[in-house]
Amino acid sequence: MSVTNVAAPMTDAELDQLSINTIRTLSIDAVERAKSGHPGTPMALAPLVYTIWNRAMRFDPDDPIWPNRDRFVLSNGHASMLLWSMLHLTETKAVNADYERLGQPSVSLDDIRRFRQIGSKAPGHPEYHWVSGVETTTGPLGQGAATSVGMAIAEKWLADRYNRPGFAIFDYNIYVVCGDGCLMEGVTSEAASLAGHLGLDNLCWVYDNNHITIEGQTSLAFTEDVATRFLAYGWNVLRVGDANDLDRIQQALGVFRETKGRPTLIILDSHIGYGAPHKHDTAGAHGEPLGAEEVRFAKRSYGWPEDAQFLVPDGVREHFAAGIGARGATARNRWTALLTSYAAKYPDLANEIDQMQRRDLPAGWDRDLPVFPADAKGIAGRDASGKVLNVLAQSIPWFLGGSADLGPSNKTTLTYKGAGSFQAGNPSGKMLHFGIREHAMGTIVNGLSLSKLRAFGATFFIFSDYARPAMRLSALMELPTIFVFTHDAMGDGEDGPTHQPVEHLASLRAMPGLVTLRPGDANEVVEAYRYVMQLHHQPAVLALSRQPLPTLDRHAYASAAGVARGAYVLADPPGGNPKVILIASGSELSLAVEAHGKLLAEGIRARVVSMPSWEIFDRQTQEYRDSVLPPAVKARVAVEQASTFGWERYVGSAGRVIGMHTFGASAPLKALQEKFGFEPDRVVASAKELLGKQ
């Protein structure tokens, strides 16, 4: 029907088509005005997204963060105008960082007019922390789909812990739209394999099978049988042959909701372009505006006024209000009433749900954290971490996580009675087994965190390379995820340079919003966790040693509580007033302490600064930072078994860094320390040379 005939009463089918074409034309106009973006996919997938939102999803536009809402993930995030159109047309309301409902639109029509411009709530790709109604940041292909597996695991865990007979507090589904690029990226293979193993029947991926990528036809590089691949993963696979057939799409979504014990993949055959096969099918496929002639042609094919821009015809918003708006409000009101009754019967569980949603922690959550006695032989950072993790998992009901098949080595195994392993038949388990899938592990931890669980993932520090894309998105989304990386330097000795991280600390320290901590003894490990658990909007990395580190006598040295300030004065000469400062992190802290003793024995006034976290230290007041690193003391030696890159900011041009300038080698740890100069005498010699130069 023509949009110019809207004065006449419309059938439901006509309203459906009018709404779909509104999504399409908003996308066309936004991309055209921005001179940037991807109009083709939104044009082709408008019927799919319309059907998911207005016919299937339980989502209340007035309260887009109510805990039992269905989740929608646009993994092919370049098609973001699909999402901005939906959030605008459904009149989804904004929520701030304190989880307060603001009443104003999440995405206004003016935002859409300013698509991809500074300050607009319609950015180039979905951004979780920026626009209400976005469930996860997407853009790097595959990340959204893989993150959805974490969301699905979270729902299973939440339902098992909190649901009671007659009280289905958590029973939501996760709908994901993904494309050829998502399925080509390896992270989705990892995540889909695990989702099939876990039987996540609350998860539905819709694959936009349009045969087009930036370089041309997918036949250039992607000819695998996707259906057979996902059947092999243990998924239920459906096919819809026409992306414009709303009833067939709705039927497939219904089959998903009835399928038990398997996630669902719906293969949707579509054509990039206007939504019907013709000579212009590839228009807008490559991130370019259509151009004036193509815009007029597209609008003409929709029966749309060719010169109208950003038109939302009468009846469209009302149609969404009568669909997802009414259905979502009813579902949310029923759930709110159910939760009220639940709280009367199960007050402790209801309180947990409330605390979790606000990212608070239970009272006394850190009461039982260990305190390690002084011990010259010491304990490895990973072992101290394992003890802390077992306390946290018992003290915080919604704290869970696991390792990429390295639990016994990372010491992330939860050994207390009742911890259990999360499996299809045991969704109450607190231990997650990611398999050898670091990339998917990172995305899944993000999905768990987006679901308000406190989650950690673990592997060797060297393999943080594989998890890095998800870690970056975690920082971008401001999620309090935790990454536990062990074997943080050359302590893995004989395994050689493939297992010895060198540049990794510098790399992660360079990532905005990420807190990296490299604790120097067991009590610093405890304090690192104490700090990290109280973060609300920042992810954190703990880089931990494989080998035992001496546990310092805190009666002789400063309290490990100084970790909370990023760096602190661990040891000073009598009366203070140091002439040289030794700065260290991790396994090199005890080395600096030993060098400090030798310098004092020779009458050299040395200070030891423990610096487990640059990021935390840099946020302290200038007064505090100057008290730790007095500007007048130019003789400074930093020591760390990692790249020296960046240390000049703390040692200055007159200082020295003892670190790594090459990759490591395969040999016992002591031989490596000798070869690369990580010995007290070298620190002493460096300090003397600096003082001599002065």
> Same domain for 581 and 502?
no
Are residues 72 and 136 in contact, defined by beta-carbon separation less than 8 angstroms?
Answer: no
44 in any annotated domain: yes
The pLDDT value recorded for residue 288 is 77
Provide the strand spans (E) within 526-683: 540-543, 548-551, 568-571, 580-584, 606-610, 636-643, 656-660
Estimate the share of the chain in helix, then strand, then coil, as percent rounded to the nearest 5.
45, 15, 40
> Same domain for 173 and 266?
yes
3-class DSSP state of 516: strand
Rounded to whole angstroms, the maximal C-alpha distance in the chain is 97
Task: State the alpha helices, DSSP H only, in 321-397.
Answer: 326-345, 347-357, 381-395
Are residues 270 and 209 in contact, defined by beta-carbon separation less than 8 angstroms?
Answer: yes
For residue 689, give its domain range: 562-693
What is the distance between the alpha carbons of residues 133 and 110, in angstroms, rounded to a whole number? 17
340 in any annotated domain: no
402 in any annotated domain: yes
> Same domain for 394 and 266?
no
342 in any annotated domain: no
The pLDDT value recorded for residue 216 is 87
Angle at the Cα of 685 from the Cα atoms of 574 and 524, rounded to 5 degrees: 55
Structure tokens at 189: 């293979």
Are residues 465 and 499 in contact, defined by beta-carbon separation less than 8 angstroms?
Answer: no
Query: Of 20, 5, 91, nearest to 318 (Cα)?
Result: 91
**CATH number of the domain that residue 663 is part of:** 3.40.50.920
> Same domain for 31 and 162?
yes
The pLDDT value recorded for residue 157 is 98
> Same domain for 142 and 180?
yes
636 in any annotated domain: yes
Q: Is 438 noted as a catalytic residue in this protein? A: yes
Catalytic residue among 438, 524, 588, 615: 438
534 in any annotated domain: yes
> Same domain for 404 and 292?
no
Domain total for the chain? 3
Query: Of 57, 9, 518, 395, nearest to 249 (Cα)?
Result: 57
478 in any annotated domain: yes
Ranges of the chain whose pLDDT falls below 50:
274, 276-285
> Same domain for 325 and 381?
no
**CATH number of the domain that residue 251 is part of:** 3.40.50.970
> Same domain for 660 and 527?
no
Residues 637-667: pLDDT tens digits? Answer: 999 999 999 999 999 999 999 999 999 999 9
Q: Which class for 374: exposed (0-12), middle (13-18), buried (19 or more C-beta within 10 A)?
A: middle
The pLDDT value recorded for residue 281 is 36
361 in any annotated domain: no
The letter for the amino acid at 369 is L
Last residue of a domain, one of 550, 583, 618: 550
Residues 470-482: pLDDT tens digits? Answer: 999 999 999 999 9
Last residue of a domain, one of 550, 572, 604: 550
pTM over 0.75: yes
> Same domain for 427 and 546?
yes
Last residue of a domain, one of 523, 550, 577: 550
> Same domain for 320 and 214?
yes
> Same domain for 308 and 383?
no
| Length in residues, the chain | 694
> Same domain for 77 and 187?
yes
Task: Give 457's strand partners.
Answer: 402, 483
User: Which residues are CB-contacts of 504 (< 8 A; sequence separation ≥ 6)?
Assistant: 461, 462, 464, 465, 543, 642
Are residues 538 and 513 in contact, defined by beta-carbon separation less than 8 angstroms?
Answer: yes
